[in-house]
Structure 1
Amino acid sequence: MPEPVQEKSTKTTCPYCGVGCGVIARVGNDGSVSITGDPEHPANFGRLCSKGSALAETLDLDGRLLYPEIGGRRAGWDEALDLVAERFSQSIAEHGPDSVAFYVSGQLLTEDYYIANKLMKGFIGSGNIDTNSRLCMSSSVAGHRRAFGSDTVPGTYEDLELADLVVLTGSNLAWCHPVLYQRLASAKASRPEMKVVVIDPRRTMTSDIADMHLAIAPDGDTALFNGLLSHLVTSGAIDQNYISAHTRGFPEAFAAASALDLPALTRATGLTLAELGDFYRLFETTEKVVTCYSQGVNQSASGTDKVNAILNCHLATGRIGRPGMGPFSLTGQPNAMGGREVGGLANMLAAHMDLEKQHHRDLVQRFWNAPGLATKPGLKAVDMFRAVADGRIKALWIMATNPVVSMPDADAVEAAIKACPFVVVSDVLRETDTARHAHVTLPSLGWGEKSGTVTNSERRISRQRAFLVAPGEARADWWQLAEVGRRMGFAEAFGHTSPAEVFAEHAALSGFENDGRRDFDISAHAAIDEAGYDDLPPFQWPQPKGTAPEERRFFAEGGFYHPDRRANFIAVEAVKARPANDAFPFTLNTGRVRDHWHTMTRTGKSARLSSHLAEPFVEIHPRDAQKLGIADADLVTIESPYGLVVVRALITERQAEGNLFVPMHWNNQFAAKGRVDALVPPVTDPFSGQPASKNVAVRATRFAAKTYGFAVSAQKPEVFDAPYWAAAKAEGGWRMELAFRGDGPDWIDWCRQVFSIAADIEPIGYTDRTSGELRLAFFDEDRLLAALFLSTRPVAVARNWAVSQLGASHANLSRRFAVTAGRPGADKPDPGATVCSCFSVGVNQIAAAIRDGCHNVETIGEKLSAGTNCGSCRAEIRGIIHACLAAAAE
C-alpha cells in the first residue's frame, strides 16, 4: 500500500501584485505543492486570483539558473563573487563611484533591497541604484512627497468597502488587482447604493461593476480633476476648516484648476458636458469617497501632476484619513512599497528619508557608520540606461528584472546592456532577454525558496517564507550583495547571517532619531530575533518602539510631514497630450492581461495561465480595423519611430476609435516580435522620472502573410525562422501560432527540426492545393508528438481540442487521422477558447449552458464552476451571456 501523503503547511505571501495576498503552501512528502488562500490574512481573507491559484504550476526547475556562470561557463561562488567585487572596485578606482550602478526590482524582498541600497549609497558612495518600480509607481511617490512631505499612503483596503463612492482611475482593477476587485464587487453587491466610477480610455472588464464609465482621452486626467476641484469650490463642497488648519497653497491650486472653462474641459478630457456634470455632482454630494489610481495615472509624462490633481480634491474636501475616504495609490508589484521604504529609488534614502536633505544623510551615515554616503541623487532608470549606452556606467548589476523587455525604447536598452563592459545578472532563470547579455550570472532563490518580508499597497508588512529546498547552488539576493560588500572591503558593515538580522537593522534605522518626525517607523521590531521573525504576523506600519500593532490611517487631523506639518496643495496645469500625427496616427496604450505577470518568466510556465490569451494581441476598434483592411484574427504590424511589433488583431468596441491597446508581457522567449516596450519612447515625467507608457504615437498596418499556421508539440519547439510566431505552454506540451510571408520550407523537414522528431517517424496528413491547406501529424505509437496546420488564412482549428490531443491515446489509425481534421467529432464538443482559467472552461461550454437556461453568472457557476474561484472571469462570462441572449432575441 502506498504511503499516505503527509503535508507540511507554510503561511507565506503571493509574489505577484501589490495586493499582498496571504497564501498557504502545502508540500507533500512526495514533493507535490498545493496553494490556497490564507483565510486569516487581512489583505485577502482567503481569496486568490487566477495567478495566485496557479502558483504551484510555476515552481518547476525547467530553465532554472542553478549555478554561477562566468561567460557562460559554470563557476563557483567564490570565483564569481570575487570577479564582481574586483570589477566594481576597479571601475570605482579608475572612474569614480558613479561609474557603477544597480538596477533592482519590486520582485526583491525588503531585506534584499535594504542591503543593495546600503552597499550602493552608503559604502560605494553613489546614488546609482534604481528599480523597475520607477516604471510603475514613482509618480505616486513624487506626488505624495510634494503634497504630504512623505511617501505615505493614507488609507487601507477596508476603505474601499466602507466608501459610498469608489473612483477607479487608470486602474483595470478586475485584471490587475483582482482580489481588491472581488472585495469591492462583494461590498457593492451587499450595498447596491454604493457607486463605482471607472475612468479609462478603454471599457475594461472592471467596468462590469461601474455605475459610470468615463472614456477619458489619453492624458486627460489632470484636466478632469482640475475641473473637479474648481467645481467643488464653486459648489461650496470644500472643507474650509480643514484647508485652513492643515494645508497651504490652496489659492494657487484653485487658480490653476480654474484655467479651463467647461468647453475647454470637454476638449481636454474627451468627455461630454453631461458626463463631466454627472461625475462632478456625484463626487460633490458623496462624503465617503475613495479615489484609487494606478498605472494609467502614473505612467505619463505628467504623471506626478495627475497624482497631485487627485490629492488636491481630497485635501480640499478633508476626505482623507477617515474610514471610507481618501486617495489610494495601488502599487503594481509585490514589494514596490517595501523597496520605497528602504530607499530603492535613486533619489531616496532608507526609512523614507530624502537623499537631498543633509540632516537625513548625516543621520543615515552615522547609523550605518558609512565611509562616504552618496551626496546627490543617482540616475533614474531611463537616464541610467542612457549612461550605460554612452559609457558613463561601466559596471552594471541587474537583479530580478528583465529591462530588455520592460524598459521603454527597449531595443536601445538591449544595445546598451550588450555593449556595457561588465554586466552582472541575478535571476532565477538562465535564459531571459536580459540574462543572455550578462558576463556573470548569479542564481537567485525563487518564490517558495527565499525568506523575507514584503509590503503591500496598504502599508502591510507580511512574511514570505521558504517552503522548498534551494535548488542547485541558488542563494538569496541579500547574501550575494553582502558577500560582494565584504569582498570590496566592507566586511564589518555586511556581516549579516540571516534575513532576520537584516530586518532588525532596517527596523532600528526606521526609529533612529525619529520621535514621530518621519512617517515610516517599525522600531517595535528592532530587537526581533530569529524565532520572532519566523512567527511575525502581518502588520501595518507605523509601529514605533513600545507600541502594539494597529490599523492606522493618516492625516484625518493633519500631521503631515513638511516642516510646518501642513500639506501642500500643488498648482498643476492641464498640459496638452502628445498628439498622434499623420505619420503615426494612432495612440497606443500598454498594460496587463488577467493571467500573466510582467515579462512571463513565471506565469509563462503555467499552461492554465497561458490558455486564456496565448499570444500578443492588439485591441482595435471595428471602424479603425475596417479602414485598415484588418479582419478579426489578422496579424497587425504596429510601428513607432523606436521599433515595431507584430501582434494578433482583436477587434472590439471596448477600444476607443483612434486608440490601440497591446499588453506588455510578451518577450523574445515567447514571441518573435512581441516586446511592445520597443515602441515606447524614453519620455519621462520631469518630477518622477517615470516613463510615459500609456500615450504612444504609432501606426498600424495589416501584416501580409502568405501562410498562417497553428501547431501543437509535446516538446518545447526549437528556435526557428518565421516572421511571426508565438509559443505558449500547454497541457502536455506547447502550442504555437505561426505566419510566413513566402511559400515556406519543406514542411516535413521543418517539423523534424523544430519539434525534435526522429527521422524514422513518418507523418500522416494531407495537402489541399485548392484551399492551400496542409495538415501533418507525427505519432510515436499511440502518442501524438506534434501536429502542424497551415492555411492561406488564419487557421480554423479548435485549438484547445488540438492541445488536448497531446495527452490522449491514439491507438488506431482513424483516431490519428481525426487529429489532422483539427476539430473534434460531434460526440466530443469543442470547449472553445478558455474563459475561466481556474477550471479550464471554454466559451462554447458557457454558450451551451446559456442555451440550457443558465442566464446569469451564478447559474453558470453552479453548472460549470466557471467564475466561482478567483472571480476574475465573471465580467467576461456576463458579456458572453448578454451577447448570446441578444442574438437569440433577434
Structure 2
Amino acid sequence: MQSLNTPNVTRTTCPYCGVGCGVAANVTAAGAVITGDKFHPANFGRLCSKGAALAETLDHDGRLLYPLANGQRISWDEALDQVAHGFGRVIAEHGPDAVAFYVSGQLLTEDYYVANKLMKGFIGSANIDTNSRLCMSSAVAAHKRAFGADVVPVCYEDIETADLVVITGSNYAWAHPVLYQRLAAAKKARPDMWVVVIDPRRTPTCDIADLHLAIAPGSDAHLFNGLLNFIRREDALDLAYIEAHVEGFAAAFEAARAAGSIPKVAQVCGIPEAEVSEFFRLFARTERTVTIFSQGINQSSSGVDKGNAIINVHLATGRIGRPGMGPFSVTGQPNAMGGREVGGLANQLAAHLDFSDATGIELVARFWNAPRIAKAPGLKAVEMFQAIASGKIKAVWIMGTNPAVSMPDADRVRAALLDCELVVVSDCVRHTDTTACADILLPAGGWGEKDGTVTNSERCISRQRSLLPTAGEARPDWWIITQVAQRMGFAEAFPYTRQAQIFREHARLSGFENRGRRAFDIGALAELDDAQYDALQPVQWPVNAQAPGGTQRLLADGHFYTPSGKARMLAVVPRLPAVAADESFPLVLNTGRSRDQWHTMTRTGKVPRLNTHEAEPYVQIHASDAHIHRLQHGGLARLTSRNGVMLVRVQVSEDQRPGSVFVTMHWNDAYARSARVDALAAPVTDPISGQPESKHTPVRVESYRPAWEGFVLSRTRLDFTEASYCACTKGAGYWRHELAGDDLPEDWRVWAQTALQDSGASARSTPKVGNLLSSQLDAELTPPVGAQQLRCYRSADWLEYRDASMGRYRAASLRHGRLEAVFFMAADQRLPERAWLGSLFGKECLESGDVAGLLAARPPIGSADAGRNVCACFNVGEKTILNAIQAQALDSVEAVGACLKAGTGCGSCIPEIRRVLDRR
C-alpha cells in the first residue's frame, strides 16, 4: 500500500455504513477534497453518494461547540463535575443499576472500549447498550448459536467470486452501495453469475437480479426451512461435512420437514411455485453460494431464528469458510463490529467474552483489576428505555445517537427522557430530537476530527484519522468518558492520554489467556507503538501469532468455538410476526433507508445535493391499496398504528407488494413535523436478541386532505408553526419548505411577510395595489375567461399573484434584484416543480426573463429545467436525462453516463436511469 505520509493527504475511513470504505482527504486553505482511497481493500477507490459528499459536511453549522447545562453555557470542568456527581449521587442512593449508557455504532472502538469498561467494570452494572442493538444483534445471536462465537466467516472478495449470490432482507444497492457496485461489476464480468433477491418490495437492488422473490413479510424462515428440506430430499447435502463438523442436524432437518413441499412453501410465502422451485434448484446445484442478509432478517421478533435458518442451509451443504461461499451478515453502521468486539451490547463482556461463562467474567475482572465488575447482563435497548420511563433508571448518558427518533415507540421514549432525573447527551450536533431532552450537553468531536479505529462487516480493522482540528470546545468521546471516570474515583484504571493507549489495552485483552479459544484475537497488535498505530494498515482479525498478517476467512478448517468444536444446526420453528394486521390496521408497515440519507439526517441533511432525490417523507404503496384507501399519488396521507401517527406524501408504486407499505427511517422533528416512522413501531423484540421488529408494524392509511398545500423556498429557514404538515430540507443557497394546513390564513400576504419578518428576512417594502407586472409577466399570468378576483402586484422587491376563485397565491421577495423567497400556495396539489425556482437562488441578480417567469415557475425559453434530481454525484436531473436520451438517441446506461456522467460516480442511480430509459 502507498505510504500514508503522502503530503497533504490523510487516509481515513468513511463514517457511514458497515462497508468501511477508505477515504483519501486532501485539506487545503480552500477546503477539503474527499476521494475514495484506491488502496483500501473495502472499496478500491469507490465511494457512494454520501461518502463522496463528506467534504460538504465539515462546516461548523449546527455543531454543538461548548458544554451546556439546562441551556446555559458552562466550562468543561463544570460539565464533567456535574456528570460525575450526578451519576455518583444516583448510584449511591439507588445502586449501579439505576444508571445506564446508550452508545452508538458511530463511536470509534477506543470510545466504545472505555465506555464499556467504565459501566461494566467500575460502575458495576451491565446497563450499557448500543443503537447497534437495532441493527445486527439478531445476527450476533445467530452466529453465537451456530458457531459458538460472533464470527462473520466470509470476506468481500467472496461476493465477487461466488456463482450464486442470494440477497435477503437488504436493499443492498442503497444500504451498502459500494459492495453492491462490486457485485454488479462482477456480474457484468461474469454474466453466468446468478443473483437472487428476496424482498417483499422490488427495490433498486433488483436491477441486477436474475430472480426476485417478493415473499410475504415475515415468511423468510419458512422459505429457508423449505430450502433445507428440499436440499435433504434432493440429496444435495454434504454428508461428510455434516458428520465431521456439525451437530444438531437431525432436529434441524425434522423441523424443516414441516415446511413441506414446494407448493406449501409457495403458499405460505405468497409467491408462485415456479419461483420457489427455481430458487431451490439453483441453490442446490451451486456450490459457490454467498447469502447476504441484513436488517430485513434481523429486525424481527424472530430475527435470530431467521438468521439460523440461513446458516443452516450453508452448514448442511458445507458451504462455509471457503472462497465464494458462506452466510454474510452485513452491518448497517460504520463500527457496529467494533462495538461487538469491546462488549458494547448489554449481554456481552469485552473481547467476545460472555456473562454466561463465569470464567470469562473472572478473566475480565482480573485484567481490568475491577472487583465490582458486573456479573449479569444489563438491560437491552428497548428494556432500557422502558426502565427509564418507569423510573427504575434515573440517569442515562446517550453518546452519539438519537433514540428519540430511532427507537420503537419513539413518542414514549421521548417522554421518558423528558421525565428522567438526569439525561446527559454527548454529540457533535446541537439540535436533535434527543438533545432537546438533555439536562447536560457535551460537545464531541465529529468525523474528520476523531482519531481511532473501526471494524467493518468483513472484520477489517481500519484507522479513522483526524484531518481537521476539533470544532469549538469539542473533545473526543474517549477523553470525555475518561475524564468522568477519573472524577468518579477510577483514575487508576483510566489513565489514558491518547487513543493508542486504549487500543493497545483492547488488543491485549483480546489475547489475554486466549490460547485459540476465542475467535476475536488481535493480540499481535498489542505492542504497537504510537507511530505504528498511526500507520496501521487495514487488517482482518484474527491478528495473532498464528496469523500476524490477519485472516481473510474463518472456519475453513471446520473448527468452531462450541464446547464440542462442531457447528450447531438449529431446529427452527418459523413464527409469525408478533403483531398481526387486522381490520383496524390492515396494512403492514416496513421501514428502511433512503438512497442519499443516513440515520436521522444530522450529517447528510446538511448537504443540498443529498436532499434533492427525496425532499419529503413518503409512504410507498401499491396501486391496488391506494385505490382501496382512496389515496392519490402525490397527495398526503396519515399513517396510524397502535402506537403513533405520522403524515407523509403518497408514492404509488408497482414495486410495493399489495398489503404492505414502506416508509424511510430518516425523518425527524428537526426536518419534518409528524414524520418519525418509529413513533408507529411497537416495542416488540426478538426474545433472544432483543432487536425490535421494525419491519412489520400493522397500520391504517387514510388520505389527508388539508385546506391548502404549498411550498416556500427561502434563503433562511422559516418557521411555520401553524402548518399541520411541514418538511424542510436544505438546497443550494436556500431552504425548501413543503407545507400543508387545515386553516386558511385571513390574508396570505400578511402570512408570508410575517414568516419572513420572524426570520429576519422580511420584504423591504409594502406591495402597492395596481402596480402591474411587466407585459411578459402579465401575459404569463393572464387568467382564464371567467376567473374572478385575480390580482397581480409589483413593487421594488415584492411580486404577488392571487386567484381567489382557484385558491392560489404566489409571491416572491427580492432585494436589489436578488431572490430572497418565493411562496406558492394552492387549494389542491397543482403546484409547479421546484428545481428551476431553486436554481434562481444561485444568482446574485435575476435577469428580466427570470423575473418574468418567476410566479409562473416557467424558465425563459432556452433555459434548462433539470427536473427532479436523479444523480446526486453529478447533480443530473430527470429532465436533463430525458432530453439527452431524445436528442442524442441514447439507448443504454453507459451512453447516458458518457454523455452526462450520470451513473458514473457511485452508481446508485443506475437503476433509476434504466427506468428513465425504459420510458423513452
TM-score when normalising by structure 1: 0.97
Which letter maps to 1:616? P
For residues 701-716 of structure 1, what are the structure 2 equivalents within 5 Å? 701-716=702-717
Q: Deviations over 1:299-335 (max 9, x none)?
A: 0000000000000000000000100000000000000
Contact 1:162 1:324 in 2 (8 A): yes
Work out the CA distance in 2 between the residues paired with 1:812 and 1:389: 58
Find the counterpart in structure 2 of residue 726 from structure 1.
727
Farther-moved stretch of structure 1 (763-772 vs 645-654): 763-772
Which letter maps to 1:731? A
Find the counterpart in structure 1 of residue 332 from structure 2.
332
Task: Evaluate the alpha carbon distance shift between residue 417 and residue 400 of structure 1 in structure 2; reply closer, same or farther with a 3 A threshold.
Answer: same
Pair 1:566-2:548 in alignment: no
Task: Evaluate the alpha carbon distance shift between residue 71 and residue 511 of structure 1 in structure 2; reply closer, same or farther with a 3 A threshold.
Answer: same
**Secondary structure of the structure 1 residue equivalent to 2:730:** strand
Pick the aligned partner of 2:880 from 827, 845, 848: 845
For residues 140-539 of structure 1, what are the structure 2 equivalents within 5 Å? 140-262=139-261, 263-539=263-539
Pair 1:786-2:790 in alignment: no
Contact 1:226 1:309 in 2 (8 A): yes
Q: CA deviation at 1:271?
A: 1.7
**Secondary structure of the structure 2 residue equivalent to 1:736:** strand
Find the counterpart in structure 1 of residue 911 from structure 2.
875
Q: Which runs of 5+ in 1 are unaligned?
A: 1-5, 885-890
Contact 1:342 1:350 in 2 (8 A): yes
Find the counterpart in structure 1 of residue 832 from structure 2.
797
**Secondary structure of the structure 2 residue equivalent to 1:554:** coil
**Secondary structure of the structure 2 residue equivalent to 1:345:** coil
Q: CA deviation at 1:478?
A: 0.7
Find the counterpart in structure 1 of residue 21 from structure 2.
21
Work out the CA distance in 2 between the residues paired with 1:794 and 1:373: 61
Contact 1:7 1:28 in 2 (8 A): no
**Secondary structure of the structure 2 residue equivalent to 1:180:** helix
Farther-moved stretch of structure 1 (550-559 vs 352-361): 550-559
Contact 1:670 1:728 in 2 (8 A): yes
Q: CA deviation at 1:751?
A: 2.6
**Secondary structure of the structure 1 residue equivalent to 2:446:** coil
Q: CA deviation at 1:710?
A: 1.2
Contact 1:39 1:45 in 2 (8 A): yes
Q: Deviations over 1:843-868 (max 9, x none)?
A: 11111122120011000011111000
**Secondary structure of the structure 1 residue equivalent to 2:854:** helix
Q: Deviations over 1:716-772 (max 9, x none)?
A: 223532100100010011111111112135333333343322353442120012221
Contact 2:544 2:550 in 1 (8 A): no
Find the counterpart in structure 2 of residue 3 from structure 1.
none
Work out the CA distance in 2 between the residues paired with 1:545 and 1:511: 10
Task: Evaluate the alpha carbon distance shift between residue 630 and residue 676 of structure 1 in structure 2; reply closer, same or farther with a 3 A threshold.
Answer: same
Q: Deviations over 1:282-311 (max 9, x none)?
A: 000001000000000000000000000000
Work out the CA distance in 1 between the residues paired with 2:838 and 2:641: 35
For residues 477-876 of structure 1, what are the structure 2 equivalents within 5 Å? 477-545=477-545, 547-577=547-577, 578-718=579-719, 720-755=721-756, 756=759, 757-758=761-762, 760-762=764-766, 763-811=798-846, 815-852=850-887, 853-876=889-912
Contact 2:397 2:424 in 1 (8 A): yes
Work out the CA distance in 2 between the residues paired with 1:307 and 1:546: 30
Work out the CA distance in 2 between the residues paired with 1:546 and 1:264: 49
Which letter maps to 1:729? K
**Secondary structure of the structure 2 residue equivalent to 1:821:** coil
Q: CA deviation at 1:817?
A: 3.9
Task: Evaluate the alpha carbon distance shift between residue 726 and residue 266 of structure 1 in structure 2; reply closer, same or farther with a 3 A threshold.
Answer: same
Q: CA deviation at 1:782?
A: 1.4
Work out the CA distance in 1 between the residues paired with 2:9 and 2:352: 35
Q: Deviations over 1:755-810 (max 9, x none)?
A: 32235344212001222111100011111110010111224222111111111244
Q: Deviations over 1:121-150 (max 9, x none)?
A: 000010100000000100000000011010
Q: Which runs of 5+ in 2 are unaligned?
A: 1-5, 767-797
Find the counterpart in structure 2 of residue 130 from structure 1.
129
Farther-moved stretch of structure 1 (618-627 vs 162-171): 618-627
Contact 2:613 2:870 in 1 (8 A): yes
Which letter maps to 1:771? M
**Secondary structure of the structure 1 residue equivalent to 2:599:** coil
Work out the CA distance in 2 between the residues paired with 1:726 and 1:684: 30
Q: Deviations over 1:605-641 (max 9, x none)?
A: 0000001101100101111112222111100100001
Farther-moved stretch of structure 1 (552-561 vs 850-859): 552-561
Which letter maps to 1:873? C
Work out the CA distance in 2 between the residues paired with 1:114 and 1:416: 27
Task: Evaluate the alpha carbon distance shift between residue 814 and residue 865 of structure 1 in structure 2; reply closer, same or farther with a 3 A threshold.
Answer: closer
**Secondary structure of the structure 2 residue equivalent to 1:845:** helix
Contact 1:810 1:816 in 2 (8 A): no
Which letter maps to 2:594? V
Calculate percent identity across the aligned residue pairs: 56
Which letter maps to 2:840? Q
**Secondary structure of the structure 2 residue equivalent to 1:820:** coil
Which letter maps to 1:313? V
Work out the CA distance in 1 between the residues paired with 2:546 and 2:78: 45
Work out the CA distance in 2 between the residues paired with 1:685 and 1:304: 7
Pair 1:73-2:76 in alignment: no
Farther-moved stretch of structure 1 (627-636 vs 865-874): 627-636
**Secondary structure of the structure 1 residue equivalent to 2:489:** coil
Farther-moved stretch of structure 1 (258-267 vs 597-606): 258-267
Work out the CA distance in 2 between the residues paired with 1:26 and 1:795: 46
Contact 2:850 2:859 in 1 (8 A): no
Contact 2:840 2:846 in 1 (8 A): no
Contact 2:428 2:445 in 1 (8 A): yes
Contact 1:761 1:779 in 2 (8 A): no
**Secondary structure of the structure 2 residue equivalent to 1:490:** helix
Q: Deviations over 1:855-885 (max 9, x none)?
A: 110000111110001100001100111122x
Work out the CA distance in 1 between the residues paired with 2:338 and 2:747: 54
Contact 2:837 2:854 in 1 (8 A): yes
Find the counterpart in structure 2 of residue 47 from structure 1.
46
Contact 2:850 2:860 in 1 (8 A): no
Contact 1:139 1:688 in 2 (8 A): yes
Contact 1:482 1:494 in 2 (8 A): yes
Work out the CA distance in 2 between the residues paired with 1:267 and 1:402: 40
Q: Deviations over 1:432-462 (max 9, x none)?
A: 1000111100000000001000000000000
Q: CA deviation at 1:556?
A: 2.3
Contact 1:7 1:29 in 2 (8 A): no
Q: CA deviation at 1:270?
A: 1.2
Which letter maps to 1:862? A
Work out the CA distance in 2 between the residues paired with 1:77 and 1:268: 59
Contact 1:349 1:355 in 2 (8 A): yes
Q: Deviations over 1:666-717 (max 9, x none)?
A: 0001101110000000000000000000011000000111211011111122
**Secondary structure of the structure 1 residue equivalent to 2:118:** helix
